[in-house]
Structure 1
Amino acid sequence: MTTESVRTSLFIGGSWRAPTSDSTLAVVSPVTEQTIGRVPAATTADVDAAVHAARLAFRGSGWRDLTPGERATHLHRFADELEARSEDRATTVTSENGMPIALARFAEGAAPVQLLRYYADLIEITPVEERRVSRPLPGTTVVRKEPIGVVAAIAPWNFPAVLSMFKIAPALAAGCTVVLKPSPETSLDSYVLAEAAEAAGLPAGVLNIVNGGADIGRHLVAHPGVDKVAFTGSTAAGREIGRICGELIRPVTLELGGKSAALVLDDADPEQTVAGLATASLLNTGQTCYMSTRILVPAGSYDSYLDAITGMCADLTIGDPMDENTAIGPLASARHRDRVLAMIERGRAEGATITTGGGTPAGIDRGFFVAPTVFGDVANTAAIAREEVFGPVLTVLRYRDLDEAIALANDSAYGLGGTVWTADTERGIDVARRIETGSFGVNYFNLDWGSPFGGVKASGIGRELGPEGLAAYQHLKSIFLAA
């Protein structure tokens, strides 16, 4: 019998409030397929209350008027409380979405703490104002950075803790207040976040959390009390949010899907490259937006690379995500597993060759598992090579020369990540410059808190992380002074 974690309140205005409805959302274990938790389903009235609380904290209680140092002090206290709960948060996320625990301890436990501290430090050294010499007439202009206001932050289920903090940390540092809507599949870990905020003494209404599905998300995005929207999720949902924000002339940051390419050059070390692709292409069981899932290899060494990639995927440990040795856990939900299996069948129907995987793993009779799958003999026009699968599914494609490889990499609706594998770092940087994408790795891929991350084309609008991520939550005001 699985013990359920039952939550009965919403975190709004710095306190735990009873929801205005008896409806609940079930959180289901992707390993056991049993319900492991329930949270209240917010209504539109609950969203209205959360936005009102955030608005009051922004304007009435004066969060925006605190000095950067005062806000930084709050954020450091918040980070300390979250750090004390990092193991709890990591294991909660793993139980919700099946993320391997070794990854969750960093991505969902440690990383949100690091982000809070990074932005707390950054806001203290970022000038609020600068003075510029006016042109063409003599005088001076004061250029001032001011917080945008109330932020609607909508987080996905694949990395719920850290991707929430991509939005919360810079928004709070800038002086904004936040209403967070977690994904229904991963609502439990946000309660750990709220408990840390409460214990840290974060002022009432600065952070509010409402649970719900797409209907609640739409109400929050279009709410007249919201000043900016920050969303991570699918391109389809991002397009809908973009349309709403466009109509409202509302600032929006959209971090969306990807179908990134790994360019394996003719001088790459095969063993190191294939080992690196295990992470660059399959992190979090492939449920990572920037994964290099289209692997482009020279035609002359195609067969050897296909064999090596097939062997790497076949050898990955599949199983209980709470096991430190597990590399491939379950997918996050039954619906998503079924979607990934349908994409595999579509690739098979298109004539591509499956060299390993192709369905559920042998010996596992429950849970939302999909075996790591490799497709060879794939055309770049095939759906399996063009559409985001968001699971442990790789395609291996041939190229004749470097120009063709770059053309194939750029022949995509997406532009979020990508990698190049080479013995010559400068050659790799030259390749990176030619790829139409928002981020790229040479013999490696990881995010840097101090550098911007985001996509081009159908992969999104705007940037998160780095000073650019802070600037996304600030308006610029010019104050003209006579000479």
Structure 2
Amino acid sequence: MSPTASVGAGAARPDTVPVTVGTPDREATPDELDVAIAELRAGAPGWCATGIPERLALLAELQRTTHAAGAGWAASAAAAKGIAPDSDLAGEDWGTGPYFVLRNLQLLHTTLTDIQETGRPRPPAMRTEGARVVVDVVPGDRLDRLVHTGLTAEAWLQPGVSLDEAMARMGRSYRSDHERVPGVAVVLGAGNVSAIGPMDALYQLFAEDRVVVLKMNPVNAYLGPHLAAAFAPLIDADLLRIVHGGADVGRHLTEHADIDAIHITGSDRTHDAIVFGTGEEGRQRRAEGQPRIDVPITSELGDVSPVIVVPGPWTAKDLAFQGDHIASMLVNNAGFNCVAGDVIIQHRAWSKRRALLDAVRDSFRRATPREFYYPGAEERYELFVSTHRQAEQLSEAVEGGLPFTLIPDVDPSATDDVVFTTESFCGVISETALDAPRSVPDFIDEAVQLCNEQLWGNLSATLLVHPRSLADPEVTAAIERAVEQLRYGTVGVNLWAGIGFVFVSPPWGAYAGNELTDIQSGLGTAHNTFLLEDVEKTVIRGPWRPPLTPPWLHTHSRMHRLSPLLADLTVDFDPRTLAAMAWHGLRG
């Protein structure tokens, strides 16, 4: 057993536990699930009693085991998505898998060290702006300053929370006046991004003090053995079980009497089926606000993500870069992201509107064709394309894949159009144009209204605005008004809102205030490595046109080199690794 196996250990048990409960090819049985939950229930009190020094040692051990498992993990994910190991795209699964988890472990280690030394987490800055507290979270350390140069992230807390209250509530589980209550959480893992399930499990463990049953999604069940190797110290200590299976296994877990909390990543339909049931009974329960499950439920469920394009003096280079920027919001992970760009919102009278669409088209044409590996992609694609004769297929389609597709000029008054009501979750992005007044601030206000009132969900939104436009105080005021009024969990200014996920440290989730009966993009928060409470949204900002190609653009040619080096940096900030990163970064 691991040196950390005594952490949280419960009742006497065999010296070994299954690597996973069930396998990628065999569902766990009800009896196996019951045993797994019983073992976790026995380990839960020990975890609550585990102090910060022991938790820090466990995090350090997890960094070692996760780093060791990283290469196999990333290679398996890439192969399952039809990506050649020597392809530029191979870096995608290094980044969205092992690197994200390693970064999460590193940031949690920093936060717990700060709590041990000073009594609370230490974000870079906290201040009051108007009626709310704003917390600077990025840049937070030297890796942020190196990798995310010029980028920032703020956590905006809910209005009415004072600075003193915000500071007092941070790191709730580690406050001396907080009584830890042992519990077992079910985390239903995502099938698209391999880091989501492990990171959600870490949040339950280190922020909520609950031990975890992590159910693999059948789409990426092949990763179960890799995650078990990465998180072996948690499994050995009866703090985690990784289980395999489909809907029946999920139902057994979420309805189990010894489960104390549930976290769901998926669709709103999956959420409602779990919480209220299916068919007429489920609809009735939802209408009456009578859930079938009486435990805390958190979730992250996607949305129709808008990209608001503010008219301005864009040059040819600006158009080319932002065309790649927008296209990359869809090309990344073949469009199977909850934060993929879904709807571009433009001013109908802007002279550069058509030129920007041409730049997006050109970028899609240069994108590497992708396999559409996620179930249901063909049906969703057909739903969007069959209802829009103007749909343009802009890339080649490989066997088992579909072309990246643009649906331009969707009528903004067609409020029930599928592009506004349904997350595409495939290679489709749409564009709509507003007949707004010629005033740019008025256009921004109308675009915000469309986003808040017409688009489904409230996870992420992106604004693109030229620096010269911001020289106009009225435009600047309109942008800041938009940032405040957009009811989304992450708002990006000149930076794809999905990068809020990449940072790892900011709170991640839907806009605060959703309810179980109208779940939208979910409830609660994840990541949040400064352990903030009362979060309303995260606001991220970036430079208009960076001097180097950002690594998240699909046009970056060295991601397969950079991503493993980033993972290395989280465990050893070696100057040789920095030099190699600079070499590949400059040539990307």
Q: TM-score, normalised to structure 1's length?
A: 0.78
Residue 256 of structure 2 is aligned to residue 223 of structure 1: yes
Specify which of 443, 446, 451 is matched with residue 506 of structure 2: 451
Specify which of 400, 420, 426 is matched with residue 385 of structure 1: 420
Deviations 1:284-339 (A, max 9, x none): 11111012210011212332222222222122121xxxxxxxxxx21224x42322
Residue 440 of structure 2 is aligned to residue 440 of structure 1: no
**Unmatched runs of 5 consecutive residues or more in structure 2:** 1-13, 84-88, 121-163, 166-174, 278-289, 437-442, 471-475, 515-519, 535-588
SS in structure 2 opposite 1:226? coil
The residue aligned with 1:307 is 358
Specify which of 231, 244, 265 is matched with residue 211 of structure 1: 244
Q: Does the C-alpha gap of structure 1 residues 19 and 189 become closer, same or farther in structure 2, counting only changes over 3 Å?
A: closer
Specify which of 32, 36, 39 is matched with residue 53 of structure 1: 39
Aligned counterparts of 1:277 and 1:418: Cα–Cα separation in 2: 12
Q: Does the C-alpha gap of structure 1 residues 330 and 255 become closer, same or farther in structure 2, counting only changes over 3 Å?
A: same
Q: Does the C-alpha gap of structure 1 residues 343 and 255 become closer, same or farther in structure 2, counting only changes over 3 Å?
A: same
Residue 392 of structure 2 is aligned to residue 337 of structure 1: no
User: How do 1:73-472 residues align onto structure 2 when only pairs under 5 Å count?
Assistant: 73-98=57-82, 100-126=89-115, 143-144=177-178, 146=180, 149-160=183-194, 162-174=195-207, 175-198=209-232, 200=233, 203-243=236-276, 246-267=291-312, 269-301=318-350, 302-318=353-369, 329-333=370-374, 335-348=375-388, 351=389, 353-357=390-394, 361-362=396-397, 364=398, 366-367=399-400, 369-380=401-412, 381=415, 382-399=417-434, 400=436, 401-410=443-452, 411-424=454-467, 426=476, 428-445=479-496, 446-447=499-500, 448-456=503-511, 457=514, 458-467=520-529
Deviations 1:343-373 (A, max 9, x none): 233332xx5x12334xx945x3x32x11000
2:391 aligned partner, one-letter code? I
Deviations 1:393-419 (A, max 9, x none): 010110222222122222222110110
Aligned counterparts of 1:54 and 1:166: Cα–Cα separation in 2: 18
Q: Does the C-alpha gap of structure 1 residues 196 and 376 become closer, same or farther in structure 2, counting only changes over 3 Å?
A: closer
Aligned counterparts of 2:362 and 2:192: Cα–Cα separation in 1: 26
2:238 aligned partner, one-letter code? G
Bigger Cα displacement from structure 2, 299-308 vs 106-115: 299-308
Contact 2:104–2:505 (Cα < 8 Å) also in 1: no
2:447 aligned partner, one-letter code? A
Aligned counterparts of 1:257 and 1:19: Cα–Cα separation in 2: 28
Q: Does the C-alpha gap of structure 1 residues 98 and 18 become closer, same or farther in structure 2, counting only changes over 3 Å?
A: closer
Q: Does the C-alpha gap of structure 1 residues 398 and 376 become closer, same or farther in structure 2, counting only changes over 3 Å?
A: same
2:64 aligned partner, one-letter code? D
Q: Does the C-alpha gap of structure 1 residues 102 and 171 become closer, same or farther in structure 2, counting only changes over 3 Å?
A: same
**Unmatched runs of 5 consecutive residues or more in structure 1:** 1-11, 25-37, 133-140, 319-328, 473-483
2:50 aligned partner, one-letter code? L
Aligned counterparts of 2:215 and 2:362: Cα–Cα separation in 1: 40
Q: TM-score, normalised to structure 2's length?
A: 0.65
Aligned counterparts of 1:241 and 1:294: Cα–Cα separation in 2: 29
Contact 1:13–1:206 (Cα < 8 Å) also in 2: no
Q: Does the C-alpha gap of structure 1 residues 19 and 81 become closer, same or farther in structure 2, counting only changes over 3 Å?
A: closer
Bigger Cα displacement from structure 2, 412-421 vs 263-272: 263-272
Alignment root-mean-square deviation, CA: 2.9
Contact 1:259–1:387 (Cα < 8 Å) also in 2: yes
2:296 aligned partner, one-letter code? P
Contact 2:20–2:243 (Cα < 8 Å) also in 1: no
Deviations 1:231-278 (A, max 9, x none): 111111112233379444311111002101000001254233212112
Q: 1 or 2, which has the higher strand percentage?
A: 1
Aligned counterparts of 2:347 and 2:487: Cα–Cα separation in 1: 20
Provide runs of 4+ in structure 1 moved above 4 Å.
Answer: 17-20, 127-132, 467-472
Deviation of 1:129 (Å): 8.8
Q: Does the C-alpha gap of structure 1 residues 241 and 465 become closer, same or farther in structure 2, counting only changes over 3 Å?
A: same
1:92 aligned partner, one-letter code? S
Contact 1:463–1:469 (Cα < 8 Å) also in 2: no
Specify which of 14, 17, 42 is matched with residue 15 of structure 1: 17
Contact 1:120–1:173 (Cα < 8 Å) also in 2: no
Aligned counterparts of 2:54 and 2:237: Cα–Cα separation in 1: 15
Contact 1:13–1:204 (Cα < 8 Å) also in 2: no
Q: Give the total of aligned pairs.
A: 414
2:465 aligned partner, one-letter code? T
Bigger Cα displacement from structure 2, 309-318 vs 178-187: 309-318
Aligned counterparts of 1:280 and 1:65: Cα–Cα separation in 2: 43
SS in structure 1 opposite 2:455? coil
